[in-house]
Structure 1
Amino acid sequence: MMKLPDSLMNSLTNANGFNREAFEAVHTSGEQITSIRINPNKIKDNAVLPFTIDTLPPVPWTTNGYYLPERPSFTFDPLFHAGTYYVQEASSMFVEQALRQTTDLSQPLKVLDLCAAPGGKSTHLQSLISPHSLLVSNEVIRSRANILKDNIIKWGADNVVITNNDPAHFKPLTGYFDVILVDAPCSGSGLFRRDEEAIAEWSEDNVNLCCQRQQRILADIWPCLKEGGILIYSTCSFSQKEDEDIVQWMVEEYNALVKPLTLQAEWGIVAGENGYRFWPDQVKGEGFFLACLQKQTPEAEVAIKTKRKTESPAKSQLTGIQQWLAPAAAQQFIVHEQTVYAWSGMLLTQGSFLLDKLKVIYSGTKLGELMRDKLIPDHALAMNPALQGKIQSADLDHDDAIAFLQRKDIKQLPATKGWQLAAYKGHALGWMNVFPNRINNYYPKELRILKDSL
């Protein structure tokens, strides 16, 4: 039986909306909630999903979120690997309301997701902003930044820059961002129901350490927000010290303005003066806290200058690239050490500047490697629906799709030879080069399915 820390329970006595009996009951119920968010970049027809969307209850505070009746094996669903949906905790999808209700999403925006790995909120933000906007998705821990990169690539986005920086490294970018999301590292009490091991790691000392870290992160990043810009602050902690108290500190220290959001009563979200609480006994989701803060003080905006020169493909190389796709009107090809990237949207004007200021590990869409002026296509090109153009593809059945994702032999060789996409129900999984009696499987080794079966 789950035993919640007494010190946590006692500290929540005066928390807005706290009902101890109901809170304890939901944590001992054994209930597990699974929710997904559909990728609007890839899904136009619900029929291709493994779920009948029309029969699933929607997550009420988001556009493309749904609850599943049980948790399936996502590992053995090819459409999961194709990036047609993301498995994301329902409460955290409330970030959509924070963005929609405070920001004009029709405008070209510069958005920062500061603590972004593994990528749930970044993929969500990317689905909401316009194609002409720019998302900087950052993670300080390099191993987690690589996971973030993989998930962004799978999502098929080309207006994202992935960085691997400490919050302090952003200080030169004063007044640069229209929106900053800080999903802050926290003590994690909001996830006790999903991860019982987190209970053993929780302590009041850890809460205090997290508070100090949260204040440092916010102090470092606040100058990067332009006047009138919005900072969305969230945690998966129930502790007031990490939630309402941090918001109050921002109000007093930086004259931040708390922006109210409109809620529907049936959502079950508890509104307070300094933010919104998700109690798992009152919402269908895990513990979560969110507040929106607007910057009221003037901030000098950094001048967009760069000495870096980006290299475009030579004419002979461009022919090799255009074999795969025709350049869009608002798209630029960049060559770096024989690797070709496509930049579009705001990256055309901001990309070189960000390369100067931050540790960028990925930007735009990596198209592939040039070998003797011919392009060897990259996995990211396969994942981006906007860049696939008229590329030949072979639709595999489920067994062959799984075999392809395991980097094993498939049973039925495609009739067409040469480079082509391996696909499942019309959605690209990766590249293969087909020969008369075999295929070369170019699915990335680090992403392959390691299990043989359920």
Structure 2
Amino acid sequence: MSFLPPAFTGSLKGLPGYNEETFLRVHASGARITSVRLQPRKAGDAAALFPQLETERVPWSHDGYYLSSRPSFTFDPQFHAGAYYVQEASSMFLEAAVRQTVPLDTPLKALDLCAAPGGKTTLLQAVLHPDSLLVANEVIKPRAAVLADNITRWGAENVVVTNNDPRDFARLDEYFDLLNVDAPCSGSGLFRRDPEAVQEWSLDNVALCSQRQQRILADALPALKPGGTLIYSTCSYSQEEDEQIADWLVAEFGMESLPLQTQPQWGIVATQSPQHGAHGYRFYPDKVKGEGFFIACFRKPGEPGTPRAHRLKTALLAAKDAARLTPWLAEKDVFAFTDHHGEAILLTPAMAADLAFLQKHLYIRKAGVKMGQLTAKELVPDHQLALSTAVAAGLPAVELDLENALRYLRKEDIRLDEATKGWTLMRFHGMNLGWAKVLPNRVNNYYPKEMRILKASAPDA
């Protein structure tokens, strides 16, 4: 017997690809799908990360994998090292959409507008050209903090995390080549994973979400360049939030619908909007190995013009101070550095060129990689540097076993037998977890208090 109310299932009748019998059956089954996406600059083998589980590739994602069961991610040090991101498999189709609609052989400016908790931001960061500038925005302040923490774990150097309302981005007129809007929605695509969310669903809420989605898109579209790509997605089945929004984008803004290529064996349902025939793609849990999802891609009309120059320049550290930072990095003469309230910040070239411009128009929560406090005697390294993929491989480091790694991640005292001193990276399976300062008679644990594991022990298997 299904827990889905008749008002909800009745609203789905007649939608492309909807089969009430199989849809209700899969929701009643209690089945749970677990999937992760690897950070390709930290891990390349899912079987090595999860030797106790069976792994299977997510067919539309280069680095996505299904796991045969859900492990305790909280008590996996590799999770805290940023080796992978736990992400719902259907939403990983964003990768296929980007690969088919965006030139990946050139640096771009991209905006992930509704980015928390960070799944699509980390996916975009892995797929886009490494010299791109990626802005990840979240309007809700506590969620923006979670987003920033997840970007830190991922280790990305080229991401700016902002905490702004979508309307603020109209100030960045025709700035971005790619705009990704994973819009807030009624959430019906996640009912199998979160049955309690069903209680919040109603036709009135669907209508409110549709209006909110239109406002968000209308506010942000001025920031997209002519000829730029918009990718719109929801985790809702409702046509008012999916195909009807696609029709509205075509009618109001002249957006050009972009078709995508899929494989029949994937089970993705291709759909077209009722008025303008805009292409969309529906994911149903009785047809794909994943949850409910909708995605559609568009090209903004017009030809891209010459990028607008701005005279704002980011103040950079003096050469003598920058020279003290480069020994901590794997690549020299690749990054620029600035100071923010006494902290040295690593910037990519794209950030160094545009950070002051972005700061003028947006509230920035995180930019680049915080390297740490540069004192007269030393660099007091920051946690962001430890997890960054830019950090040097040859720095002093200690490999921890699982017990000590978990003690470290709880910010508890640890003992080291190895003869090392000073600032030292704590590692698990060769992956950096964070810093400790090794002194003659003790080890000071510098794992961030706000990111520590709070649970005492893992649940019984």
Distance 2:405 2:127 in 1: 30
2:281 alignment partner, one of 267, 276, 284: 276
State the one-letter code of the partner of 1:57.
E
Matches of 1:301 and 1:23, distance apart in 2: 49
Hey, what does 1:418 align to over in structure 2?
422
Shift of 1:174: 1.4
Distance in 2 (alpha carbons) for counterparts of 1:47 and 1:263: 26
Aligned to 1:324: 328
Corresponding residue to 1:359 among 353, 358, 363: 363
* Equivalent position of 1:226 in the other structure: 225
- Residue by residue over 1:152-209, the C-alpha shift from the partner in whole angstroms, topping out at 9 and shown as x without a partner, is 0110100111100100000011111111100000000000000011000111111111
Paired residue secondary structure (2:184) = coil
Please tell me the residue identity of whatever aligns with 2:142.
S
> 1:397 is matched with which residue: 387, 398, 401?
401
Report the AA paired with residue 14 of structure 2.
N
Report how far residue 87 of structure 1 moved: 0.5
Q: Secondary structure at the match of 1:32?
A: coil
Give the aligned residue type for 1:412: L
Tell me the equivalent position of 1:312: 317
Cα pair 1:184 1:214 within 8 Å, conserved:
yes
The CA deviation at 1:82 is: 0.4
Structure 1 residue 321: deviation in Å?
A: 2.5
Look up the match of 1:19: 19
User: What code does the residue aligned with 1:408 have?
Assistant: E
Could you tell me how far 1:144 is from its partner in structure 2?
0.3
Which 4+ stretches in 1 moved above 6 angstroms?
299-302
Residue equivalent to 1:120: 119
Q: Which residue of 1 aligns with 2:265?
A: 266
C-alpha distance in structure 2 between counterparts of 1:4 and 1:239, whole Å: 14
**2:313/2:356 contact within 8 Å kept:** yes
After alignment, is 305-314 or 89-98 more displaced? 305-314
Q: 2:382 aligns with which of 378, 392, 414?
A: 378
Residue identity matched to 1:348: A
1:254–1:230 Cα change, 3 Å: same
Instruction: After superposing the two structures, state which structure 1 stretch, 183-192 or 44-53, moved more.
Output: 44-53
Residue 25 of structure 2 aligns to a residue whose secondary structure is helix
Cα-to-partner distance string for 1:130-149 (whole Å, 9 max, x where unaligned) = 11111100000010000000
Match of 1:177 in 2: 176
> Could you tell me whether the CA contact under 8 Å between 1:113 and 1:180 is conserved in 2?
yes
- What is the identity, as a one-letter code, of the residue corresponding to 1:278? F
Query: Does the CA-based 8 Å contact 1:174-1:300 persist in structure 2?
Result: no
Residue 289 (structure 1) aligned with residue 294 (structure 2): yes
Q: Is the 8 A contact 2:133 2:351 kept in 1?
A: yes
1:451 aligns with 2:455: yes
Query: Which residue pairs with 2:148 in the alignment?
Result: 149
Are the equivalent residues in 2 in contact too, given 1:46–1:52 (CA < 8 A)? no
Q: How does 1:330-349 map to 2 (within 5 A)?
A: 330-349=334-353
Does the Cα contact within 8 Å between 2:81 and 2:432 map onto a contact in 1? yes
Match of 2:275 in 1: none
CA distance in 2, matches of 1:223, 1:32: 40
Task: Report the 3-state secondary structure (helix = DSSP H, G, I; strand = E; otherwise coil) of the residue aligned with 1:440.
Answer: strand
Once residues 227 and 255 of structure 1 are traced to their aligned partners in structure 2, the CA distance between those partners, rounded to angstroms, is 11
State whether residues 413 and 439 of structure 1, in contact with CA within 8 Å, keep that contact through their aligned partners in structure 2. Answer: no
Paired residues of 1:189 and 1:202 also in contact (CA < 8 A): yes
Identity over aligned pairs, percent: 52
Q: CA deviation at 1:52?
A: 7.2
User: 1:312-344 CA deviation, whole Å, 9 max, x = no partner?
Assistant: 1462x3454245237633310111221101111
Counterpart-to-counterpart distance in 1, 2:324 and 2:435 = 17
Whether contact under 8 Å (2:331, 2:390) holds in the other structure is: no
- Distance of aligned partners of 1:174 and 1:302 in 2 relative to their CA distance in 1, 3 Å threshold: farther
Aligned residue for 2:237, secondary structure, equals: coil
| Structure 1 residue identity aligned to 2:402 | H
Cα shift at 1:300: 6.7
Give me the whole-angstrom Cα distance separating, in 1, the residues matched to 2:127 and 2:34: 22
Deviations 1:103-130 (A, max 9, x none): 1111111111000000000000000011
Paired AA for residue 185 in structure 2: C
Partner of 1:34: 34
In structure 1, what is the equivalent of residue 208 of structure 2?
209
**Which of 428, 431, 436 is 1:432 aligned to?**
436
Query: For residue 245 of structure 2, what is the aligned residue in structure 1?
Result: 246
Counterpart residue identity of residue 11, structure 1: S
User: Equivalents in 1 of 2:395, 2:47: separation in Å?
Assistant: 23
Q: CA deviation at 1:396?
A: 0.4
Tell me how far 1:302 sits from its aligned partner.
Answer: 6.9
Task: Give how far 1:13 is off.
Answer: 0.8
| 3-state secondary structure, aligned to 1:385 | coil
Query: Which runs of 5 or more residues in structure 2 are unaligned?
Result: 273-278
Change (3 A) 1:322 1:225: closer
Checking the alignment, whether the CA contact within 8 Å between 2:316 and 2:336 is kept in structure 1 is: no
Letter in 1 for 2:282: R
Provide structure 1 residue ranges, at least 5 long, that are not aligned to the other structure.
none
User: How far is 1:307 from its partner?
Assistant: 3.8
Task: Give me the CA root mean square deviation.
Answer: 1.7
Shift of 1:50: 2.7
For the 8 Å contact 2:396–2:424, the answer to whether it is kept is: yes
Moved more, 260-269 or 405-414: 405-414
User: What is the deviation of 1:438?
Assistant: 1.2
Distance (Å, rounded) in 1 between the aligned partners of 2:307 and 2:240: 33
Q: State the Cα deviation string for residues 34-77 of structure 1 (Å, max 9, x = none).
A: 00001101114556513479x52111011011111110101111
TM-score of the pair, normalised by structure 1: 0.96
